[in-house]
């Protein structure tokens, strides 16, 4: 015997069960109308500036899009994206950048938060502020400072290397060092958001757990490893996702510090999309590249979510 | 009932649409004949400064004069650094929020063919008669012409030349090239003598030569032309920078840094500002190739002992350089009346008097014969020296995909000058990309 949803599908009318679910959802929304009303302005902005452009980009990705006239080209832009050697190089560079910066910055945030957490209130506030400050500084300013840090003649990096008799490097202008220079810069910018979130999460771990572990003879590292780290997994999951998305979208430092060069050494996906869209005015191709980036980020995000979420449930 | 509602809605919309269409037709006809009034938005980069260090004073004065002669018209100036001009234009085009008039960078190679392909730049032939055009040099007009249509007004021209800091030449007791001409061997010999350890700490402080490599900029390219190499065949159908003439020249240029050690490690990077600073402020490089704007910029940087020379002559037996044309383009307009007003403003900006002013203050060559007839470089020896180089100038190839072709070549050139790739291998890689773009 067929179930009611199948019957509903066949007749084209919603089943009684579905109708009642919809009604109860609407009733619930009506009950919480004040909350939804407060959310409304943000949701309107979100739809206008995020959802609609994404849908529009998806539509454009199937067109040879012109300013005044466009033509449907099916999946040609996607085919061109995967056949484009520059896209593959940019993808590989972005992956390298992400695979190094995401784990290192998460680990750094966790370590720094662990060191700050036991401090007194005033010291904690000081370090919170100090580490969060670079987060509110424009990446443009940070990139300009780091250009000086990496300067071949006057840079801080080469100055330090000179103490160890290591020859000066032209960090941003050599293929083998340029991407690493950007990676090192990203790592050395304090992960302010991560530190603040870890500190907040650490504050909510019950003290009794540590006391019990102490009575059982656990050392400080064991307590950190067995209690703190597992209980911070939801925060780690959130930060990893956030960091992953940010890393896949690395752009400002690339355009300001290397322009994707030398050669293709620091070409990244968003920089390539920017060039395709705004320099070459190939909006269809750029949209296809952006959709591919979206799918790649989604896949990586899902993999991470599955791995970390399952572990945190265990 | 539903059907009736739909019919009613469609009818109302059709009537309203027809009404609106009628209105717009009427508006266009009216503005065609009437004098247009409203606001003009013009972008410009910094030019020469006035005593208060304002680098936009010339355009501000022009805007004021135009507003007085065109009652009801106001001009809004948007200041854009030259290095950001193309990016900003691209973004504004994507958002359909382009300016009415924008400058064309003199260091580039004319109107961006992508803009023409996307129909965001207006052809100007309706506003410039054959008589108007007669006053412009042919090569200046040619740079802005595509498929027989004129897509911009040439307002100035430039050539790339070698700027020599004669103070360093004097300090090192090196004779500058006679009449500004030197062979490659003479050039290398001079560069060796100019490279030295100034403070005796065992490291080189002053280098003979440096330059940069960046998409859309061609200061280094005349070196690659010196043995007869060219990026594309004359008909623009074949990539020819992989010829022996071109790759040999590339090797010679790269060897200045790798073998002769007369160029700093930074030579070949994309750092335009750093390269200029090394020459004008730090004085750590004695010779650099630049477009002619750098002549007046050097004077303003208190470099009063500067000489202009040709690029060294290679196997081709003739010095060669690359020229550029700067000017104005009009972006897509709906209103014919406004187009006429914009064209009037562009004519004013590129008239004889303004070209003379630019030549005297901004280190550019006029694109109008009438402006050159006024001898704007009297008493300005470096500009007179540079003017001689115009006879050696060739233009960057014109091709619809030139931006991408240029990028494919320039990024390989960076690797060659870094010593990371041999010229043959680099140009073989560039060819793979360029061949696809030439099809």
Predicted confidence (pLDDT) per residue in B264-289, tens digit: 999 998 888 899 999 999 999 999 99
- Average pLDDT of the segment spanning B180-186: 95
Interface check B191 vs A, CB under 8 A: no
Pair A98, A183 in one domain: yes
Q: Cβ–Cβ of A280/B415 closer than 8 Å?
A: no
Per-residue burial over B245-267, b if 16 or more Cβ lie within 10 Å, else e, is bbbbbbebbbebbeebbbbbbbb
The answer as to whether A5 is a domain residue is no
The answer as to whether A9 is a domain residue is no
The answer as to whether A220 is a domain residue is yes
Alpha-carbon gap: A166 to the closest alpha carbon of chain B (Å): 15
Pair A159, A270 in one domain: yes
Tell me the torsion sign for CA atoms B373, B361, B303, B267: negative
For residues A59 and A77, is the Cβ–Cβ distance under 8 A?
A: no
DSSP B73-116: EEEEEEE--HHHHHHHHHHHHHTT---SEEEE-TTS-SS-HHHH
The answer as to whether A13 is a domain residue is no
pLDDT of residue B300: 85
ipTM for the predicted complex: 0.81
pLDDT of residue A51: 94
- Supply B146's token pair: 């595509």
pLDDT of residue A197: 94
What are the CA-CA distances from residue B388 to residues A169, B166, B269, B324, B365 (Å)? Answer: 41, 19, 30, 15, 11
Pair A292, A210 in one domain: yes
Closest CB from A261, A278, A279 relative to B414:
A261
pLDDT of residue A8: 47
For residues B280 and B296, is the Cβ–Cβ distance under 8 A?
A: no
Q: Please, which pLDDT band fits residue B8 given cuts at 50, 70 and 90?
A: very low
Q: Residue B365's closest CA among B212, B160, B109? A: B160
Pair A159, A293 in one domain: yes
Question: Left (φ > 0), alpha (ψ -120 to 50) or beta: where does B202 sit?
Answer: left
Pair A175, A90 in one domain: yes
The answer as to whether A10 is a domain residue is no
Pair A118, A27 in one domain: no
State whether residue B55 is helix, strand or coil.
Answer: coil
Pair A56, A196 in one domain: no
Interface test with B, best of A154, A279, A282 (most B CBs within 10 A): A279
Whether pLDDT at B407 is above 60:
yes
Give the HSE-up count for residue B339: Cα atoms under 13 Å, Cβ half-sphere: 18
Pair A303, A174 in one domain: yes
Number of structural domains chain A divides into: 2
Domain region containing A144: 84-313
Q: Residue A267's closest CA among A208, A193, A156, A182? A: A182
Q: Percentage of residues in chain A with pLDDT exceeding 70?
A: 94
Give the HSE-up count for residue B316: Cα atoms under 13 Å, Cβ half-sphere: 22
pLDDT of residue A13: 59
φ and ψ at A32, to 5 degrees?
-95, 25
CB within 8 Å of chain A, chain B residues 279-318: none
pLDDT of residue A311: 59
Residues of A with CB under 8 A from a CB of B: 66-68, 85, 152-153, 170, 172-175, 258-264, 277-281, 283
Could you give the angle at the alpha carbon of A157 between the alpha carbons of A151 and A160, nearest 5°? 135
Per-residue burial over B25-35, b if 16 or more Cβ lie within 10 Å, else e, is eeeeeebeeee
**pTM given for the model:** 0.84
For residues B374 and B211, is the Cβ–Cβ distance under 8 A?
A: no
pLDDT of residue B3: 45
Q: Cβ–Cβ of A173/B412 closer than 8 Å?
A: no
Q: Please, which pLDDT band fits residue B23 given cuts at 50, 70 and 90?
A: very low
pLDDT of residue A313: 58
Q: Please, which pLDDT band fits residue B34 given cuts at 50, 70 and 90?
A: low
Q: Which of A26, A52, A77 is the last residue of a domain?
A: A77
Q: Which of A31, A47, A77 is the last residue of a domain?
A: A77
The answer as to whether A235 is a domain residue is yes
Q: Mean pLDDT across chain B, nearest whole number?
A: 89
Q: Cβ–Cβ of A279/B411 closer than 8 Å?
A: no
Pair A158, A64 in one domain: no
pLDDT of residue A43: 94
Residue A282's closest chain B neighbor by CA? B114
Could you give the angle at the alpha carbon of A98 between the alpha carbons of A92 and A104, nearest 5°? 140
What are the CA-CA distances from residue A9 to residues A3, A4, B94 (Å)? Answer: 10, 8, 43
What are the CA-CA distances from residue A166 to residues A7, A75, A94, A141, B269 (Å)? Answer: 76, 51, 29, 28, 22
Show the domains of chain B with their CATH numbers: 36-158+324-383 (3.40.190.10), 160-323+396-438 (3.40.190.10)
- Segment A73-128, tens digit of pLDDT: 999 999 999 999 999 999 999 999 999 999 999 999 999 999 999 998 899 899 98
Q: Please, which pLDDT band fits residue B191 given cuts at 50, 70 and 90?
A: very high
Pair A56, A118 in one domain: no
Q: Which of A51, A77, A103 is the last residue of a domain?
A: A77
Q: Cβ–Cβ of B403/A280 closer than 8 Å?
A: yes
Q: Which residues make beta-bridge pairs with B308?
A: B163
Query: Which CATH number goes with the domain that contains A126?
Result: 1.10.3720.10
pLDDT of residue B270: 87
Distance CA B90, CA B98 (A): 9
Q: In chain A, what residues touch B86 (CB-CB under 8 Å)?
A: 279
pLDDT of residue A301: 85
Q: Cβ–Cβ of B414/A263 closer than 8 Å?
A: yes
- Average pLDDT of the segment spanning A138-144: 91
The answer as to whether A302 is a domain residue is yes
Pair A133, A269 in one domain: yes
Burial class (CB in 10 A: 0-12, 13-18, 19+), A240: buried
pLDDT of residue A14: 60
The answer as to whether A301 is a domain residue is yes
Q: Please, which pLDDT band fits residue B100 given cuts at 50, 70 and 90?
A: very high
Closest CB from B114, B332, B415 relative to A281:
B114
Q: Please, which pLDDT band fits residue A314 given cuts at 50, 70 and 90?
A: low
If you count residue pairs, one on A and one on B, with CB atoms under 8 Å apart, how many are there? 78
- Segment B214-252, tens digit of pLDDT: 988 899 999 999 999 999 998 989 999 999 999 999 999
Pair A70, A89 in one domain: no
């Amino acid at each position: 015997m067929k179930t009611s949803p199948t019957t509903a599908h066949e007749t084209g009318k919603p089943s009684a069960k579905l109708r009642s679910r919809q009604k109860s959802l609407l009733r619930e929304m009506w009950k919480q109308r004040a909350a939804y009303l407060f959310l409304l302005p943000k949701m309107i902005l979100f739809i206008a500036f995020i959802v609609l452009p994404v849908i529009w980009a998806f539509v454009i990705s199937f067109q040879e899009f012109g300013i005044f006239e466009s033509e449907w080209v099916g999946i040609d832009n996607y085919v061109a994206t995967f056949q484009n050697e520059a896209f593959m190089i940019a993808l590989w560079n972005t992956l390298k950048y992400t695979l190094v910066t995401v784990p290192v910055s998460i680990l750094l945030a966790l370590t720094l938060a662990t060191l700050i957490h036991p401090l007194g209130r005033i010291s904690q506030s000081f370090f919170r502020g100090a580490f969060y400050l670079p987060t509110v500084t424009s990446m443009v300013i940070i990139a300009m400072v780091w250009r000086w840090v990496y300067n071949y003649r006057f840079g801080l990096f080469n100055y330090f290397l000179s103490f160890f008799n290591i020859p000066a490097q032209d960090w941003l202008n050599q293929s083998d060092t340029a991407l690493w220079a950007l990676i090192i810069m990203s790592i050395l910018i304090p992960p302010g958001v991560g530190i603040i979130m870890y500190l907040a999460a650490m504050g909510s771990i019950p003290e009794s757990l540590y006391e019990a572990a102490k009575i059982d003879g656990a050392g400080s590292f064991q307590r950190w490893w067995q209690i703190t780290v597992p209980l911070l997994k939801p925060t780690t999951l959130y930060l990893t996702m956030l960091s992953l998305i940010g890393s896949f979208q690395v752009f400002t430092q690339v355009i300001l510090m290397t322009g994707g060069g030398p050669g293709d050494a620091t070409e990244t996906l968003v920089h390539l999309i920017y060039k395709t869209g705004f320099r070459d005015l190939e909006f269809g191709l750029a949209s296809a590249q952006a959709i591919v980036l979206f799918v790649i980020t989604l896949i990586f995000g899902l993999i991470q979510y599955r791995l970390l979420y399952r572990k945190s449930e265990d | 009932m539903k059907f009736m509602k739909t019919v009613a809605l469609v009818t109302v919309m059709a009537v309203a649409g027809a009404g609106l269409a009628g209105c717009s037709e009427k508006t266009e006809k009216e503005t065609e004949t009437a004098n247009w009034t409203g606001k003009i938005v013009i972008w410009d980069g910094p030019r020469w400064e006035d005593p208060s260090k304002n680098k936009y004073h010339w355009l501000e004065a022009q805007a004021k004069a135009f507003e007085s002669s065109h009652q009801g018209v106001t001009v809004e100036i948007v200041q854009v650094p030259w290095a950001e001009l193309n990016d900003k234009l691209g973004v504004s085009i994507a958002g359909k929020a382009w300016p009415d008039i924008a400058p064309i960078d003199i260091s580039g190679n004319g109107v961006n063919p992508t803009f023409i392909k996307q129909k965001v730049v207006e052809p100007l032939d309706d506003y410039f008669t054959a008589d108007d055009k007669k006053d412009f040099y042919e090569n200046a007009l040619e740079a802005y012409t595509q498929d027989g249509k004129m897509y911009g007004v040439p307002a100035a021209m430039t050539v790339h030349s070698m700027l020599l800091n004669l103070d360093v030449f004097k300090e090192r007791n090196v004779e500058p090239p006679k009449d500004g001409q030197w062979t490659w061997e003479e050039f290398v010999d001079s560069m060796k003598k100019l490279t030295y350890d100034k403070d005796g700490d065992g490291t080189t402080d002053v280098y003979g030569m440096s330059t940069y490599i960046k998409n859309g900029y061609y200061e280094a390219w005349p070196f690659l032309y010196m043995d007869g190499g060219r990026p594309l065949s004359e008909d623009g159908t074949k990539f020819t920078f992989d010829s022996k003439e071109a790759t040999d020249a590339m090797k010679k240029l790269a060897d200045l840094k790798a073998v002769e050690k007369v160029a700093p490690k930074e030579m070949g990077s994309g750092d335009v500002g750093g390269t200029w600073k090394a020459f004008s402020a730090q004085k750590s490089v004695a010779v650099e190739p630049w477009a002619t704007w750098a002549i007046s910029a050097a004077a303003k940087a208190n470099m009063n002992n500067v000489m202009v020379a040709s690029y060294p002559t290679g196997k081709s037996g003739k010095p060669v350089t690359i020229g550029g044309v700067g000017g104005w383009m009009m972006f897509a307009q709906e209103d014919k009346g406004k187009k006429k007003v914009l064209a009037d403003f562009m004519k004013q900006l590129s008239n004889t008097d303004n070209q003379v002013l630019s030549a005297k203050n901004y280190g550019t060559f006029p694109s109008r014969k009438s402006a050159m007839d006024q001898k704007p470089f009297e008493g300005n020896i470096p500009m007179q020296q540079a003017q001689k180089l115009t006879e050696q100038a060739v233009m960057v190839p014109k091709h619809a995909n030139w931006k991408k072709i240029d990028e494919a070549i320039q990024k390989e050139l960076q690797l060659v000058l870094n010593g990371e790739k041999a010229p043959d291998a680099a140009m073989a890689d560039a060819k793979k990309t360029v061949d696809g773009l030439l099809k």
